[in-house]
Each structure stands twice: as C-alpha cells, then as structure tokens.
C-alpha cells in the first residue's frame, strides 16, 4: 500500500523517491542522478525522499547527510521533511561550507588546525595579503585580484604547486603569492572559505581511518542543486562516499548559470561516469508554465552540446504563445513594457505583482525605473538597490552636483575624500567653517595653511573637477546668470598656489575645451566609454576623480557591475548637450524622478512590478514575464563563446521558464551604449528559437526568418509613432551610413512627413542631422548592409 504522502507524486517523482540504490542480486550500491527540469517539483522529491528513507526504510536519521548551497534552502528542506516525519530533523542538513566548518572543528588538528580557528571573508584575505613582504606595496585593487584568484584556485582544488594553476592566473609571481598567503594563514591558524571545502578533502585523503569513520557515519548523502557545485565540492563528495554509501544528487544541467562563481556544469554532466553504475531519472513534467513557453525555452537550450537532454512537458497544457516585440530603441522598450502592464491592470486581467521585467545586467533597470516613476507604476528592484540609491551613482551625482553648485556642502563632504586623498574630517570641517557659502573660495583662501597631505588631496579633488568642466562647451560670461548655474569663481586665480596645481574653471580652461575634447583617460582600463553629449563630462569626472577605479576594485563581480551602472548613467547623460545648461537639465531630470519616487505610496492591492536580473530569478516564478534587451552584445554579450556561450543559453532558458502564463521578449534596433546611440542586431538566441511558438510584433530586421503578424497587440502604440523602416523602402533604423563630410554614422529615427520619409542620422563625430529620403539619399552611402 502506498503511503498517503507519496500519492501526490507523479510516477517519475515516486520512482526517484523509492530508489534505494540497491538492485536485486547486485552487491554494488547504485548512485542516483535526478535530472529535474524547471518547475518539475525537485524540492518535493528530495525532502520526501529523506522522510521516506527514515519512515519506510528504517534509515537512522543521524546517518543521512543532505547538502545544498544556501541556509534558506537547507531550512526549507528540513521543514518539509519534518512535516512528514519529525525524526527528519535529526538528519544533518547543511550547506557545503557549513558542513566543512563542522568537520574542521572536530578534525582540523589532523591538518595542523586548532578548533578555535576564525573563518576569513574576502576582505580579511585582502588584508592578510597586504601584510606579506612581497605584496605590501601593491595597491588594494591588485591585492583584491590576487585574493580572487586564490579563491578560484581553491574552488578548482588547486594548490600552489599544482601545474594547472596557470589556468587560474597567468601572472608569473602568482604561485609565490599563493604560497606565502597559505604559509601566513597556517601560522595564524585561521581558514578562508575555500579552505572549508579543500582542507576536509586533504584530511580525508591523508587519514584513511577518518575517511572510514565518515563512511560509516553517513550511509546516505543527498545533494540539492548539484549543477551549482564546483570541483572542490565534487572532490569532497567523492571522499565522503564509501563502498556502501548511497549518493543521490538532484539538479538540472540546463540551469547551471554560476560559472563566474566557480560552478562547474561538468560535475552533473559527468556524474554517470564518475560514480559507477549511476541511474538517471528524469523529471520532465513541468507544473509551472504553459507548453509554448517551455517549447520556446527548450528550442534555444537544445542548441547546447554540453547537456544530458530532456523534454519538458507542461502539466498545464497549451496557453498563450510567447510574444517577440521588435522595437526601435530602449525608450520605446520601456514604454512598451509600461503600457503592457498598465493595460492588464486597468482591465483587471492582472495585478502589478504578476509582472516581472528581466534584464541581463543591473544597469538596465534605469530606463524602466524612469518610465515607471513617471507613470506612477509601483516597482521593486530585486538583488540590488534602486538605480539612484546605489552608492556609485550617488557618488557620481555628488560630483556633478558640486560641479554645478560649489556651495553644496553635502556633496562636498561625500566625495572630497573618496577615494581617500588624506583629507580628514578636521580639514573638511575647517573648509566648511571658513566658507561663506562658496567652498571653492574658502579653499582658495586657506589652502596654503593646510597640512601637506591634505593640501595635495584637496588640490587633486579640484583638479578632477576642472577636468570635468573642460568637457563642457564654453559659454560667454553674460550667459552665466541666464543658465542659473553656479560655477567656480573665475578669479580664483590659476593660482593662489600654483604648485598645488588647482585649476578652477577659467578662461584658459574654456579655450582648451573649445573643439579639443579628448576621450577620458583610463576609460579602457575602467571599462567606461564617453560618447555623445554630456556623457563626455560625466565619464571624465568619474575617471579623473578616481570614483570609477574606487568602485571597480570591490571585486570581480560587484566591481564590474558598479562600473556598468556608472556607464549607464553616462549613457543617460548622452542625450543632453555638453553645456552647463545641459548638465543642469540632466540633474534636474534626475531630481524630479527621485522626488516622484519619494511621493510613491504603499504597494496597494495590486502589489508591485518586479525588476530583476535573469541570474537573480533562479528559483522564482511570475505569472507574466518580459525578458528585455534580447540583442547581440547585450544578451548574450559579444565576448561569450564556447562554454560561456552555452551558459548564456542556459541563462536564457532559466529566464524564460520563470514565466507561468505569459512570456514577452523585446529586441531593440538601437540602444544607448558606451555613451552613444548604437545600432543593434537581434540576439542569436532569437535566430535559434522555434518561430512556430513565437508571435512576432513590430518590424523584424532585414533577413530575419519569421512571420510578421498584422495584429500588433497591446502596448505597440510607440512603435506606430516611431517606424523602423522608411515608406520608400530605402532606409531602416540601424542602417550604417557614410557621408563625405561627416564620416560614419547610423540611422537612429525615421518619421513620415508631407514630403516623404525624414531620416535622422547620428554620426560618430557627435553630429546629428536629418535629410529627406526622396530628395537627398544620394548624399548618403549605406554601408555594411545585408542586401
């Protein structure tokens, strides 16, 4: 008779739960891989299996070890299992790192480690590296990179003497750095996070009697989310498993998306080879999404070579076909999403909380936040602060604010010593105390009396401001009042103290700026690019002030995310002129958006729209999902090839399978990137997708193989206002052009007039021009077209 708690399981789920690893007449223990597709109920299976082993098979709860990757998941597994049998609470359910710490507290002495060790986090590791004689003079940014490389080496179970270490870091001195770091860590008697996995493996290998003790202790080992495991974690599992150990792992090779954290998809792909005699049970019944959504997601991920393969079948049956919207630009993209959401809520067909906007990087949230604030659409940003609340954005805006108004004490205090320039609180208080409003004037007066280090720091700060100002077009003295913008006193003299190299905005600066703008220094190093309009000033200021480098050096992941956010701020500035008035208008626009945000009330009965990166959606689900920015260079990025490109396909699959009822994809012909408006191509994922499960709206680009429906659907008003092709068939948005006088450019907008199509072109020089297609097309040469 089947126990009641198993009756709710489908046949494949039940088969996975009832699998014991023992086959009739076979002395070998057969491992089990549960290949669980998205939305197939894997958590229910693994928790039910724990309870079933205890309740029906008489397994000792103390003999069960279940490993996962987050404390939340471990608690959820324990709670669900205990609902079936209270004794499941006696099983050991931990994260990998928690288990490693537990192991080392009891057995660390076998690896010359006391039980009272402290676990170092990333910052502690950087601080330890800074104490090494070989590294004490290196800047913090380089120390962070070395610490990151050491952490990755431990994820891949590589020691300083390992010949494969060069695959982690090619620096000729990295082995010495790693060796000295390990020696110092051992002398102190502490461990880092990588050691929590690596050291238990080393102890188990060096001490067979300890290994046998653990083989006897844990007769059952279960692992959740196995696709997220790294090489070191695989080595740990291998050492914990004895001849009689039953190991069962649950995961989905198509949802392995954390390679940048060290996750290795090969662990799950090669599980049948590494654990002899393994059985595979596929959970392919999806309880979340309608079948067209699953078919679309599968058609893309099926292009991967590195996968075990499965076919998802929707338990819910057929629903609405996913929609692919071709749009002119990112502003239209934000309008499209907002209109789609508003119409569904106004018709009471959905609540705000039913909707999620997905994007590849956090920086892409800005356009949606701006549009939603204007329309009073409530939203929340998951996994990150709202755009204008992010530290790096506040820092950049403080620099711009002080550039506009040198009386802004709050902005001055925030950034005058960030990054550290030796300008301590006492110096800042003195400058503020001496100021009769204008802080720049106060600095001019007291600069010679400041301590040497503080004097140099303040000078560096104002030098950076001068660099930003030099990117603005000079204006006549009479226009200052009209622009209502307070600049540095021109009579500050290029030098109350020339040796301090303070350069305030003056006639010489204006002359230097006129027609002689240069790309900001260091932009290649920090990943920022200046392009059109005001972005020149924004990027120059971010880089000359050191704010860009300061935020880049946080770590490999958040550092580049922060630089991406700063680039998005520069992109937003690119549509404003590089003038004082343009800067003031840009800041005013931002402040108005922020004031609207403050006025927004509670969530209301309809909840809020979720703005979230695709990575952060793992494990979540939403009734209606819009995946945005499905363009080459955005999703996937152009630098993704080989294994990295396969992971991008898996990321697309994860995003698409978050949708329960409706899925929308957006692809833009133009996007502001690197400080300029650039033509975009549809993502290769769109080309790989099965067009039979896509409803296409908007104008597909030339060469796109798919069907264009006449029914434009909801939210397509902006596309009517902004056609992507001219009515005479000569031009489309995104076309690259060449003009004898202006050089290279791209078509950014097309509108119809009484005299025919009007074509707008932006050139690489920054020039923006319009021409009549019927009369003036001969002056413009279309280049790089696919005709």
**What is the dihedral angle through the alpha carbons of 361, 364, 369, 372, rounded to the nearest 10 degrees?**
-110
Closest CA to 253 of 299, 301, 308: 308
Q: Please state, in angstroms and rounded to a whole number, the distance separating the CA atoms of residues 450 and 676.
A: 42
Q: What are phi and psi of 357, to 5 degrees?
A: -100, 120
- What is the pLDDT confidence band of residue 481, given thresholds at 50, 70 and 90? very low
Q: 632 exposed, middle or buried (CB, 10 Å; 0-12, 13-18, 19+)?
A: middle
Q: Could you read off the pLDDT of 580-602 as tens digits, one per residue?
A: 888 988 887 887 777 666 555 55
Q: Please state, in angstroms and rounded to a whole number, the distance separating the CA atoms of residues 151 and 122.
A: 9
Q: Is 70 a residue whose pLDDT tops 50?
A: yes
CB atoms within 10 A of CB 517: 18
Across residues 45-67, what is the average pLDDT? 93
Closest CA to 122 of 144, 101, 100: 144
DSSP string, 742-762: TEEEEEEEEEEETTEEEEEEE
The SS3 call for residue 63 is: helix
Look at strands 736-739 and 743-753 and give their pairing.
antiparallel
Residue 184 Cα distances to 127, 138, 178, angstroms:
12, 17, 10
Quote the pLDDT of residue 604. 67
Q: Number of C-alpha atoms within 13 angstroms, CB side, residue 706? A: 25
Across residues 329-352, what is the average pLDDT? 96
Closest CA to 563 of 523, 528, 612: 528
736-748 burial: b if 16+ Cβ within 10 Å, else e: ebebeebeebbbb
What length does the chain have?
787
pTM, to two decimals:
0.76
Quote the pLDDT of residue 720. 35
Q: Please state, in angstroms and rounded to a whole number, the distance separating the CA atoms of residues 20 and 6.
A: 15
Of residues 787 and 611, more confidently modeled:
611
CB atoms within 10 A of CB 250: 25
518 CB-near residues (< 8 Å, 6+ apart): none
Strand partners, 682: 631
Look at strands 622-627 and 659-668 and give their pairing.
parallel
Query: Are the C-beta atoms of 544 and 468 separated by less than 8 Å?
Result: yes
- What is the pLDDT confidence band of residue 554, given thresholds at 50, 70 and 90? low
Across residues 198-223, what is the average pLDDT? 96
Residue 434 Cα distances to 379, 446, 584, 715, 739, angstroms:
44, 8, 27, 56, 56
Q: What are phi and psi of 631, to 5 degrees?
A: -130, 150
Q: Is 478 a residue whose pLDDT tops 70?
A: no
392-425 burial: b if 16+ Cβ within 10 Å, else e: bbebbbbbbbbbbbbbbbebbbbbbbbbebbbee
Quote the pLDDT of residue 92. 93
Residue 577 Cα distances to 371, 400, 539, 643, 750, angstroms:
21, 15, 14, 42, 22
Q: Please state, in angstroms and rounded to a whole number, the distance separating the CA atoms of residues 303 and 695.
A: 21
Can you point out the beta strands (E) in 300-382?
A: 313-314, 323-327, 355-359, 379-381
Strand partners, 35: 251, 282
- What is the pLDDT confidence band of residue 632, given thresholds at 50, 70 and 90? very high
Instruction: Tell me which DSSP letter residue 668 carries.
Output: E
Q: Could you read off the pLDDT of 20-48 as tens digits, one per residue?
A: 988 756 667 899 999 999 999 988 999 99
Q: Which range in 391-400, 632-641, 652-661, 718-727 is most confidently predicted, on average pLDDT?
A: 652-661
Whether omega for the bond prior to residue 746 falls within 30 degrees of 0, making it cis, is no
Q: Is 708 a residue whose pLDDT tops 50?
A: no
Look at strands 781-783 and 313-314 and give their pairing.
unpaired
Q: Please state, in angstroms and rounded to a whole number, the distance separating the CA atoms of residues 529 and 764.
A: 13
**What is the dihedral angle through the alpha carbons of 746, 584, 380, 261, rounded to the nearest 10 degrees?**
60
Q: Which helix (H) or strand (E) holds 64?
A: strand 64-68
Q: Please state, in angstroms and rounded to a whole number, the distance separating the CA atoms of residues 542 and 567.
A: 10
Q: Is 492 a residue whose pLDDT tops 80?
A: no
Q: Is 717 a residue whose pLDDT tops 50?
A: no
Q: Could you read off the pLDDT of 526-539 as tens digits, one per residue?
A: 568 888 899 999 99
Q: Which range in 540-554, 649-663, 715-729 is most confidently predicted, on average pLDDT?
A: 649-663
Across residues 379-396, what is the average pLDDT? 88
Q: Please state, in angstroms and rounded to a whole number, the distance separating the CA atoms of residues 556 and 13.
A: 40
Residue 680 Cα distances to 7, 483, 743, angstroms:
52, 36, 20
Mean pLDDT of the chain: 84
Across residues 640-644, what is the average pLDDT? 88
Strand partners, 677: 672
Query: Are the C-beta atoms of 378 and 600 separated by less than 8 Å?
Result: yes
Of residues 93 and 23, more confidently modeled:
93
Residue 383, Ramachandran bin (φ over 0: left; ψ between -120 and 50: alpha; else beta) = left
Walk across the sheet containing 736-739 and list its strands: 768-772, 756-763, 743-753, 736-739, 781-783
Q: Number of C-alpha atoms within 13 angstroms, CB side, residue 96? A: 27
Q: What percent of the chain has pLDDT over 90?
A: 48
Q: Please state, in angstroms and rounded to a whole number, the distance separating the CA atoms of residues 316 and 159.
A: 50
Across residues 559-568, what is the average pLDDT? 86
Rounded (10°) angle between helices 452-469 and 425-434: 60
Dmax (CA) of the chain: 98
Residue 153 Cα distances to 102, 122, 163, 287, angstroms:
22, 14, 12, 39
Closest CA to 91 of 72, 55, 57, 65: 65
- What is the pLDDT confidence band of residue 718, given thresholds at 50, 70 and 90? very low
Q: Could you read off the pLDDT of 125-163 as tens digits, one per residue?
A: 999 999 998 898 888 888 988 999 999 999 999 999 999
Q: Please state, in angstroms and rounded to a whole number, the distance separating the CA atoms of residues 654 and 662.
A: 15
Query: Are the C-beta atoms of 322 and 292 separated by less than 8 Å?
Result: yes
Q: Is 713 a residue whose pLDDT tops 60?
A: no
- What is the pLDDT confidence band of residue 757, given thresholds at 50, 70 and 90? confident
Quote the pLDDT of residue 506. 35
Q: Please state, in angstroms and rounded to a whole number, the distance separating the CA atoms of residues 437 and 432.
A: 8
The SS3 call for residue 358 is: strand
Across residues 692-709, what is the average pLDDT? 73
Task: Compute CA 765 distance to the chain's CA centroid, rounded to the nearest angstrom.
Answer: 31
Quote the pLDDT of residue 783. 75
Q: Which helix (H) or strand (E) holds 660?
A: strand 659-668
Q: Is 119 a residue whose pLDDT tops 50?
A: yes
- What is the pLDDT confidence band of residue 703, given thresholds at 50, 70 and 90? low
Of residues 122 and 284, more confidently modeled:
284
Q: Could you read off the pLDDT of 166-187 as tens digits, one per residue?
A: 888 888 899 999 999 999 999 9
Q: Is 516 a residue whose pLDDT tops 50?
A: no
- What is the pLDDT confidence band of residue 524, given thresholds at 50, 70 and 90? very low
Q: Please state, in angstroms and rounded to a whole number, the distance separating the CA atoms of residues 749 and 417.
A: 43
Query: Are the C-beta atoms of 631 and 671 separated by less than 8 Å?
Result: yes
Q: Please state, in angstroms and rounded to a whole number, the distance separating the CA atoms of residues 672 and 419.
A: 29
Residue 44 Cα distances to 81, 280, 291, angstroms:
9, 18, 22
Q: 495 exposed, middle or buried (CB, 10 Å; 0-12, 13-18, 19+)?
A: middle
Closest CA to 683 of 723, 632, 743: 632
CB atoms within 10 A of CB 354: 21
């Amino acid at each position: 008779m089947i126990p009641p708690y198993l009756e709710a399981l489908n046949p494949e789920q039940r088969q996975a739960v009832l699998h014991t690893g023992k086959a009739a007449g076979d002395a070998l223990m057969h491992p089990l891989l549960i290949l669980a597709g998205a939305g197939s109920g894997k958590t229910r299976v693994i928790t039910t299996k724990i309870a079933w082993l205890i309740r029906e098979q008489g397994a000792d709860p103390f003999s069960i070890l279940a490993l996962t990757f987050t404390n939340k998941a471990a608690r959820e597994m324990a709670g669900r299992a205990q609902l079936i049998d209270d004794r499941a609470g006696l099983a050991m359910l931990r994260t990998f790192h928690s288990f490693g710490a537990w192991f080392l507290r009891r057995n660390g002495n076998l690896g010359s480690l006391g039980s009272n060790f402290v676990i170092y986090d990333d910052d502690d590791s950087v601080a330890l590296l800074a104490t090494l004689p070989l590294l004490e003079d290196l800047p913090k940014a380089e120390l962070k990179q070395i610490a990151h490389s050491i952490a990755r080496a431990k994820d891949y179970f590589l020691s300083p003497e390992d010949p494969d270490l060069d695959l982690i870091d090619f620096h000729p001195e990295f082995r010495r750095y790693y060796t000295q770091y390990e020696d110092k860590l051992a002398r102190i008697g502490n461990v880092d996070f990588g050691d929590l996995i690596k050291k238990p493996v080393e102890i188990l290998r060096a001490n067979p009697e300890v290994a046998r003790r653990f083989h006897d202790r844990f007769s059952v080992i279960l692992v959740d989310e196995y696709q997220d495991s790294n090489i070191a974690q695989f080595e740990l599992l291998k050492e914990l498993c004895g001849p009689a150990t039953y190991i069962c792992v649950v995961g989905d090779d198509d949802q392995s998306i954390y390679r940048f954290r060290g996750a290795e998809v090969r662990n799950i792909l090669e599980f049948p080879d590494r654990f002899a005699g393994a059985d595979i049970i596929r959970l392919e019944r999806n309880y979340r999404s309608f079948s067209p959504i699953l078919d679309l997601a599968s058609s893309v991920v099926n292009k991967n070579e590195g996968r075990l393969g499965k076919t998802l079948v929707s338990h819910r049956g057929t629903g609405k076909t996913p929609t692919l919207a071709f749009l002119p630009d990112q502003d239209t993209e934000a309008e499209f999403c907002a209109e789609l959401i508003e119409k569904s809520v106004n018709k009471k067909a959905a609540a705000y909380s039913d909707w999620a906007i997905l994007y590849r990087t956090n920086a892409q949230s800005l356009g949606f936040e701006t549009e939603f604030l204007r329309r009073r659409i409530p939203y929340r940003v998951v996994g990150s602060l709202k755009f204008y609340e992010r530290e790096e954005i506040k820092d950049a805006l403080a620099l711009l604010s002080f550039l506009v108004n040198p009386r802004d004490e709050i902005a001055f205090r925030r950034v005058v010593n960030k990054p550290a320039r030796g300008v301590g609180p006492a110096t800042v208080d003195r400058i503020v105390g001496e100021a009769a409003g204008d802080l720049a004037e106060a600095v001019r007066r007291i600069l010679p009396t400041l301590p040497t280090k503080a004097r140099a720091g303040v000078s560096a700060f104002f030098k950076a401001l001068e660099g930003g100002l030099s990117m603005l077009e000079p204006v006549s003295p009479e226009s200052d009042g009209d622009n209502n913008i307070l600049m540095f006193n021109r009579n500050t003299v290029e030098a109350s103290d020339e040796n301090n190299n303070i350069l305030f905005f003056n006639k010489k600066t204006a002359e230097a700026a006129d027609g002689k703008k240069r790309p900001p220094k260091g932009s290649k190093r920090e990943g920022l690019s200046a392009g059109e309009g005001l972005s020149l000033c924004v990027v120059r200021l971010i880089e000359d002030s050191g704010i860009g480098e300061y935020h880049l050096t946080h770590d490999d992941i958040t550092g580049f995310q922060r630089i991406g956010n700063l680039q998005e701020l520069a992109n937003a500035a690119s549509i404003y002129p590089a003038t004082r008035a343009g800067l003031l208008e840009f800041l005013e626009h931002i402040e108005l958006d922020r004031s609207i945000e403050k006025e927004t009330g509670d969530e209301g009965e309809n909840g809020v729209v979720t703005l979230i990166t695709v990575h952060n959606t793992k494990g979540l689900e939403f009734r209606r999902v819009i995946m945005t920015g499905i363009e080459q260079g955005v999703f996937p990025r152009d630098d993704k090839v080989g294994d990295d490109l396969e992971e991008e396909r898996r990321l697309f699959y994860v995003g698409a399978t978050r949708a329960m009822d409706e899925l929308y994809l957006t692809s833009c012909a133009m996007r502001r990137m690197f400080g300029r408006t650039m033509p975009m191509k549809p993502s290769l994922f769109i080309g790989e997708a099965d067009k039979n499960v896509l409803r296409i709206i908007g104008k597909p680009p030339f060469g796109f193989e798919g069907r264009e429906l006449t029914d434009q659907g909801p939210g397509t008003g902006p596309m009517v206002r902004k056609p992507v092709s001219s009515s005479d068939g000569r031009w489309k948005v995104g076309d690259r052009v060449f003009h004898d006088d202006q050089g290279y450019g791209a078509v950014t907008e097309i509108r119809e007039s009484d005299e025919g199509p009007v074509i707008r072109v932006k050139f690489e020089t920054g020039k923006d021009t319009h021409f009549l297609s019927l009369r003036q097309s001969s002056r413009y040469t279309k280049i790089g077209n696919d005709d």
